[in-house]
Amino acid sequence: MGIEVGGILGLLVLIADIYAIIKTIGSSASTAKKVIWILLILILPVIGFLLWLLFGPSDKRVSV
SS3 track for 9-40: HHHHHHHHHHHHHHHHHCCCCCHHHHHHHHHH
The boundaries of the domain holding residue 19 are 5-55
Q: Is residue 61 part of a domain?
A: no
Read off the pLDDT of each residue in 23-28 and give the average, rounded to a whole number.
Answer: 91
Nearest to 16 by CA among 56, 57, 48: 48
Q: Read off the pLDDT band of 58 (50, 70, 90).
A: confident
Instruction: Give residue 50's pLDDT.
Output: 94
Mean pLDDT of the chain: 86
What confidence tier does 63 reach under pLDDT thresholds 50, 70, 90? very low
pTM here is 0.80
Answer whether residue 63 is part of any domain.
no
CB 26 within 8 A of CB 58: no
For residue 18, tell me if it sits in a domain: yes
Between CA 3 and CA 22 the distance in angstroms is 28
